[in-house]
Amino acid sequence: MTIHHLKEDRSLTVVTLSLGKQVLAIPAVRLREILDPMPVTRVPGAGPLVPAVLNVRGTVVPLANLKQVLRIPETEADDRRRILVLDVTIAGEAAVVAVEADAVHEVATIETAIIEPVPAAASAWPPEYLTGLYRGGEGFVLMPDLDHILSVLAQRPMA
Amino acid sequence: MMDDMTAIFREEVRDLLESLERGLLDLKSRPDDMGLVNQVFRDLHTVKGSGAMFGFTELSAFIHEFETVFDKVRSGHLAVGPDLLRLALAAKDEIPGLVEGEADPEGRRVAILSGLHGLLGGAPVAEAVAEMAPAEAGPTGDGALRLTFRLTGAALALGARPDLVLDELRGLGAVEIAADLADVPPLDRLDVEACAFGWKMVLPASVTAAQVEEVFLFVDADWSLDAVAAETVETVVDVVAVPVPEAAPAAKAASPKAPVERPVAKVEAKVEPKAETKTEAKTEAKSEAGATIRVPAERLDALMDSVGELVIAEARLAQLARDLRDPALIATAEQITRLAGGLRDATMTMRMVPMRSLVGRFRRLVLDLSDKLGKPVEFRVTGEDTELDKTVIEKLADPLVHVLRNALDHGMEMPEARVAAGKSREGLVELVAEHAGAEVLIKVRDDGKGMDPAKLREKAIAKGLILPETQMTEAQIFALIFEPGFSTAEAVTDLSGRGVGMDVVRRTIDALRGTIQIESALGRGTTVTLRLPLTLAIIEGLQIEVAGEQYILPMPNVQEIVELPPEKAEPSRTEDFLDVRGGFVPFLRLRQLFDCAGTPGAGQNVVIVRAGEARVGIVVDRIIGTNQTVIKQMSKLHAGVRALSGATLLGNGSIALILDVGHLVGMSRQQGDAAQAVRQEVLA
């Protein structure tokens, strides 16, 4: 999804969440459910980016580590930790993926006019993985390009 | 509503086209089989009829021409020949496009139609002569029926469609349909609302009055059905017998491709079987319609999913019942287990599809390829009724196309070379499908030139795929053709030879949890054997534990379980072999393979698994037991993890990963090679 797609509508409803100290926003239409932390099954040989699978109501759903992908430093987990189950498109096919968040904040409606493209010089995050960003109450809120991230992850070499 | 109807029509057309193609291909080998001709005609007629009903007029018009040709074949005026079949197959290929309303910018359809017209036109003299004979009853023979009918009263005004009635009668086998103009009044006395025409025709003897009555059920008409008098038939034979030999040379001159000199005796001889096949086919079709229901595939998938959930819930219930030790609960749980088992088996059976559904496509492929390559080939299929899970069947089409192409393009020699080698001119390609335990074997066998292991080896070395000093068995050398970028053809053709095909074959078969094996004898041919699991949905699994993690091994692959001798407990580079009753079996340590933390306790077990001909031992911490495993595919994000073929849910809701035995066996082979290298180093 490009920033232009996002700006086709005047406003956008997003879910905001924290990964480490960074705040991110994901379009609310993508969100299926938010789960409390639960046991996951390690997938040997899958690498640290998509390290495990979990059982979401009878379906086996992969768990992606967005912090690793976006190069956000780990912080200590507390009881605000949640698992978000998201509808995504991986290499053109609909799929369900779970991501861990250190905290989920709120569902908010933002004006798409405030979304800005990621400056190419913003070396803190891989710009190719972000659709855009906007200035929130406490600093920048990143909007990850989930479909692109996961399509790239599906291509990664595995054991 | 209309969309639903056209969807049904499309599906029907797809089935009919399949049947039509099969009929046409069978006609190639049995051109005189009137049963086949009738089947083809019936299929065409049905497509045309329902096409018209759903407003596909262009389609109907196209098929009408096509059908006319087969009407001529049916009535014995045209013989089935290679040209006719080629055109008919090409015409068949146009039908899906017509259904989808695609344009035909290259004018293929027109070309096909004019080709078909050419076939018809090739026999004008004979036809004319035959039509001159007043009651030409060649195809109907003794006891043929003559039907005359006339629309009465205000039938036309009430919407009767004589053309549809005639179509239906044609469906019953009517030939020599002619209009009866005797009662057409002079123009000044013509009543424009009444139908002054009558029709007469000859029906096969097998048609009953009841069938005719059915045709006229909704039409106001006077009709009569009489047996054609025996003496008339005799005179007819006389009449026909004289002109045909005369007509033949004339027809030949007009078009050498249309063999019309069909001896009348032969036509007569065909009469009885024809009538029989027709009735037989009719009853068959009727009983089939009563016994089968068409269900969209998604519903079957949904059912399978529910059954999968049920099996998992049932496992949980059984565990709870055991824990709670309540006899009543245990009894109920056992009953549920039985019922769930029955439901599971029934559902799996529903998903089974015979190989037949694929084979039609292959026959066509082989026919086209053998034409294109100039290599005459007989394609023999055995075990068309062998059933496989529908998902497996769907995914099997592509790899089999590659294997068949390879057999024809690379395996088969040119006819001259075959003759020089003392073989028959015509090659033989066989497709054999059969059950073997929980697996299905599909073999593609050709009697072509076979593969030369020495040549393959040289080539692999030249391509850098193997080292010159690598020791390999013949089977391993043949397996090289599945390596990406390996192609043995001297010339790259547009059919195969780019070295991509076989690579795809192995990937697909791997994904289906199957194995491939190649045997080849130089000069005598090659056999490619695909081994596939019967189903991809639920398997019997052996649950094992490694460092607290649960994994499943498919039971059909498990051969035996032995204890790991204490002296082998420590990992070693060279000694990871077990002596299992005189045979050496290499083994893999899952803990090592999966980077598990901690050290194993005492009493590890080795599960000996088999894939194809190879065996490998898998060292695990603990054997938990067997269970019904509902296979869930891994997502795209984990598709690259080759050691796993899927995941399943356990009774307690946690996930166990299913190990891919074929891949593990392959890994042990690589490791074995490495170990051998180490041993050689030590010895040197």
Higher-confidence residue of B414 and B281: namely B414
Q: Using the Cα atoms of residue B383, residue B387, residue B391 and residue B394 in order, give the sign of their dihedral.
A: positive
Task: Answer whether A90 sits within 8 Å of B594, measured CB to CB.
Answer: no
CATH class of B145-227: alpha beta
A154 CA: distance to closest CA in chain B (Å)? 4
The domain B538-683 belongs to what CATH superfamily? SH3 Domains (2.30.30.40)
A107 CA: distance to closest CA in chain B (Å)? 28
A69 chain-B contacts, CB cut-off 8 A: none
What pLDDT does B546 receive? 93
What pLDDT does B575 receive? 64
For residues B443 and B433, give the distance between their C-alpha atoms in angstroms, rounded to a whole number.
6
- Closest partner residue to A64 (CB to CB) among B637, B639, B654 is B637
Q: Is B632 on the interface with A (CB under 8 A)?
A: yes
Task: Give the ipTM of the model, two decimals please.
Answer: 0.90
The domain B2-130+242-289 belongs to what CATH superfamily? HPT domain (1.20.120.160)
Closest CA to B656 of B627, B682, B619: B627
Under the banding of pLDDT at 50, 70 and 90, the label for residue B227 is confident
A80 CA: distance to closest CA in chain B (Å)? 23
Under the banding of pLDDT at 50, 70 and 90, the label for residue B671 is low
Encode pLDDT of B185-220 as tens digits.
Answer: 877 777 777 777 788 888 877 777 777 877 777 677
A90 chain-B contacts, CB cut-off 8 A: 635-637
For residues B324 and B378, give the distance between their C-alpha atoms in angstroms, rounded to a whole number.
65
Under the banding of pLDDT at 50, 70 and 90, the label for residue B2 is low
Under the banding of pLDDT at 50, 70 and 90, the label for residue B49 is confident
A53 chain-B contacts, CB cut-off 8 A: 634-635, 638, 647, 655, 657
Q: Cα–Cα distances in Å, from B101 out to B92, B98, B408?
A: 15, 5, 35
Over residues A47-70, mean pLDDT: 90
Over residues B523-534, mean pLDDT: 86
Under the banding of pLDDT at 50, 70 and 90, the label for residue A14 is very high
- Closest partner residue to A60 (CB to CB) among B549, B640, B647 is B647
Query: Helix or strand or coil: residue B633?
Result: coil
Over residues A82-110, mean pLDDT: 92
* B37-51, B269-283, B536-550, B658-672: least confident range: B269-283
B637 chain-A contacts, CB cut-off 8 A: 46, 50, 62, 64, 90, 97, 150, 153-154
Under the banding of pLDDT at 50, 70 and 90, the label for residue B600 is confident
Chain A interface disruption, residue of B636, B664, B667, most A CBs within 10 A: B636
Task: Answer whether B657 sits within 8 Å of A90, measured CB to CB.
Answer: no
Structural domain boundaries of chain B? 2-130+242-289, 145-227, 297-351, 354-533, 538-683
What pLDDT does B135 receive? 41
B657 chain-A contacts, CB cut-off 8 A: 41, 43-44, 53
Strand partners, B382: B432
Q: Cα–Cα distances in Å, from B513 out to B149, B305, B560?
A: 63, 20, 20
What pLDDT does B677 receive? 59
In chain B, whose CA is at the least distance from the CA of A156? Answer: B640
- Closest partner residue to A60 (CB to CB) among B309, B593, B655 is B655
B597 CA: distance to closest CA in chain A (Å)? 12
Query: Helix or strand or coil: residue B356?
Result: helix
Structural domain boundaries of chain A? 3-154
Q: Which residues of B75-107 are buried (b: 16+ CB within 10 A; e: fewer)?
A: bbbbbbbebbbbbbbebbebbeebbeeeeeeee
Q: Where are the beta strands (DSSP E) in B331-405?
A: 352-354, 377-382, 387-389
For residues B430 and B528, give the distance between their C-alpha atoms in angstroms, rounded to a whole number.
11
Higher-confidence residue of B273 and B576: namely B576
The number of residues making up chain A comes to 159
What pLDDT does B429 receive? 92
pLDDT > 50? residue A38:
yes
Highest mean pLDDT among B228-232, B315-319, B344-348, B444-448: B444-448
What pLDDT does B43 receive? 83
Other CB atoms within a 10 A radius of the CB of residue B177 amount to 14
Q: Is A92 on the interface with B (CB under 8 A)?
A: no
What pLDDT does B142 receive? 54
Task: Answer whether A159 sits within 8 Å of B642, measured CB to CB.
Answer: yes
Higher-confidence residue of A71 and A40: namely A40
Closest CA to B456 of B486, B484, B485: B486
Contact status, residue B311 vs residue B538, Cβ threshold 8 Å: yes
For residues B486 and B464, give the distance between their C-alpha atoms in angstroms, rounded to a whole number.
10
B595 chain-A contacts, CB cut-off 8 A: 44
Query: Helix or strand or coil: residue B379?
Result: strand
Over residues A116-132, mean pLDDT: 80
In chain A, whose CA is at the least distance from the CA of B656? Answer: A41
CATH class of B297-351: mainly alpha
What pLDDT does B358 receive? 84
Adjacency order of strands within the sheet including A130-136? A103-111, A11-19, A22-27, A139-144, A130-136
Task: Answer whether A62 sits within 8 Å of B312, measured CB to CB.
Answer: no
Under the banding of pLDDT at 50, 70 and 90, the label for residue A144 is very high
- Closest partner residue to B636 (CB to CB) among A59, A90, A157 is A90
A125, two tokens: 């995050």
Q: Is B667 on the interface with A (CB under 8 A)?
A: no
B643 chain-A contacts, CB cut-off 8 A: 44-45, 159
Q: Cα–Cα distances in Å, from A125 out to A69, A133, A142?
A: 9, 11, 9
Which residues are within 8 A (CB) of B352 and not within 5 positions of it... i.e. 6 or more apart?
B387, B388, B389, B390
What pLDDT does B143 receive? 63
Adjacency order of strands within the sheet including B614-620? B558-563, B605-611, B614-620, B583-589, B577-580
- What's chain B's average pLDDT? 76
Over residues B55-62, mean pLDDT: 80
Task: Answer whether A41 sits within 8 Å of B657, measured CB to CB.
Answer: yes
Over residues B250-261, mean pLDDT: 43
What pLDDT does B683 receive? 52
- What's chain A's average pLDDT? 88
Q: Which residues of A117-138 are buried (b: 16+ CB within 10 A; e: fewer)?
A: ebeeeeeebeeebbbbbbebee
Higher-confidence residue of B274 and B316: namely B316
Q: Cα–Cα distances in Å, from B360 out to B36, B341, B356, B366?
A: 15, 34, 7, 10
Under the banding of pLDDT at 50, 70 and 90, the label for residue B141 is very low
pLDDT > 80? residue B125:
no
Q: Which CATH number fits domain B354-533: 1.10.260.40, 3.40.630.30, 3.30.565.10, 3.40.50.720?
A: 3.30.565.10
pLDDT > 80? residue B89:
yes
What pLDDT does B542 receive? 94
What pLDDT does B269 receive? 40
Q: Chains A and B: how many Cβ contacts under 8 Å?
A: 83
Q: Regarding the domain delimited by A3-154, which CATH topology (the fold level of the hierarchy) does it fall under?
A: OB fold (Dihydrolipoamide Acetyltransferase, E2P) (2.40.50)
- Closest partner residue to A60 (CB to CB) among B550, B632, B636 is B632
In chain B, whose CA is at the least distance from the CA of A149? Answer: B637
Quick one: how far is CA B655 from the chain centroid?
A: 36
Over residues B503-517, mean pLDDT: 79
Which residues are within 8 A (CB) of A134 and not within 5 positions of it... i.e. 6 or more apart?
A25, A110, A114, A115, A116, A140, A141, A143
Higher-confidence residue of B156 and B87: namely B87
Q: Is A93 on the interface with B (CB under 8 A)?
A: yes
Chain B interface disruption, residue of A57, A59, A60, most B CBs within 10 A: A60
What pLDDT does A37 receive? 92
A50 chain-B contacts, CB cut-off 8 A: 637-638
Q: Cα–Cα distances in Å, from B550 out to A43, B543, B604, B621?
A: 11, 7, 15, 10
pLDDT > 70? residue B228:
no
Under the banding of pLDDT at 50, 70 and 90, the label for residue B612 is low
